[in-house]
Amino acid sequence: MKITQISTFLTEPRWVFVKVTTDEGVEGWGECLGDKAFVVAEAVRSYEHALIGQDPFRITHHWQSLYRGAFWRGGPILCAAISGLEMALWDILGKALNAPIWQLLGGAVRDRIRMYSRPHGATPEQLAQSAKEVVARGYTAMKFCPFEKVHVLDHYQLVEEAAARVQAVREAVGSGVDILLDFHGRVSPAMAVQMEEAMRPYHPLFIEEPVLPENVDALARVAA
């Protein structure tokens, strides 16, 4: 079996899907998550020369080759492209062997997985009402970002407003529902510490990307 074609499909709001086609008619699908959809799609196409005509079953070899074989390595764009291609190759292998991918990766480790949803709204009241609706649909966890743009050093009023949104959700859902917060890496280390301190009384299960995830030193400083 050989890879004959690589195609990308862009969908709103920012998703890139990739299809890898083989000469035996087996197709594999992968997803390249990323904000720069057109750039990620072009990155996928840049790997055609390394994959077309190759054996799709050599998944680890192709991953190592794509990631390590270029002068410029890593970064969110290239890693998103490689991830989608790798996913598609696993899909091809599973279809060719008529086996689910989870079986090929070592077998199932759970029968159920917990899901979370997202409350919507700009004000504490809107978020509280939306959170109740999320719980009514059967969810026991929800994730949201309690603010928009935050300056490197911002007014404490913004911190208080963000904490008020988290408080409203906590009071609406009670202690039996987990609140997950996502800062999207929008916050400086100094402001992230203030945000976490203000929201700590409402016991978020975690804060995702309190600062930019590639800034490991800042992550460690905020965690400390």
Boundaries of domain holding 137: 124-223
Last residue of a domain, one of 48, 70, 104: 104
Identify the CATH number of the domain in which residue 138 sits.
3.20.20.120
For residue 117, tell me if it sits in a domain: no
**Is residue 182 domain-resident?**
yes
On whether residue 112 sits in a domain, the answer given is no
- Residue 130 sits in the same domain as residue 49: no
Average pLDDT rounded to a whole number, residues 68-96 = 91
For residue 113, tell me if it sits in a domain.
no
**What is the token pair recorded at 40?**
């990620």
pLDDT for the residue numbered 72:
75
Please check the confidence at residue 214 and state whether its pLDDT lies above 90.
no
| Same domain membership, residue 100 and residue 173 | no
The Cβ of residue 26 has, within 10 Å, a number of other Cβ atoms equal to 16
- Span between the terminal Cα atoms of the chain, in Å: 52
- The per-residue b/e assignment along 93-127, b for 16 or more CB within 10 angstroms, e otherwise, is bbbeeeeeeeeeeeeeeeeeeeebbebebeebeeb
Per-residue pLDDT, averaged over 188-205, amounts to 97
- Judge if 95 and 128 occupy the same domain: no
pLDDT in tens, 168-181: 999 999 999 999 99
pLDDT of residue 73 exceeding 80, the answer is no
How far apart (Å, rounded) are the C-alpha atoms in residues 178 and 117?
Answer: 11
Does residue 150 sit within a domain? yes
pLDDT higher than 90, residue 44: yes
Q: Count structural domains, the chain.
A: 2
pTM score, two decimals? Answer: 0.80
Length of the chain: 224
**CATH number for the domain that contains residue 9:** 3.30.390.10
What's the Cα-to-Cα distance from 192 to each of 18, 52, 65, 72, 198, rounded to whole Å? 36, 45, 38, 32, 10
Q: Are residues 98 and 22 in the same domain?
A: yes
Domain membership flag for residue 166:
yes
For the cut 90, the answer to whether the pLDDT of residue 74 exceeds it is no
> Confidence band (pLDDT; 50, 70, 90) for 37?
very high
Task: Please report, as a single letter, which amino acid is at residue 180.
Answer: L
132 and 48, same domain (yes or no): no
Same domain for 141 and 50, yes or no, is: no
Mean pLDDT of the chain: 95
Q: Is the pLDDT of residue 141 over 80?
A: yes
What is the mean predicted confidence (pLDDT) over 11-35?
Answer: 93
At which of 75, 104, 133 does a domain end? Answer: 104
Over 90: is that where the pLDDT of 33 sits?
A: no
Q: 7-21, 66-80, 207-221 — which is least confidently predicted?
A: 66-80
Residue 23: CB atoms within 10 Å: 11
Does residue 114 belong to any structural domain of this protein?
no
pLDDT class for 34, splitting at 50, 70, 90?
Answer: confident
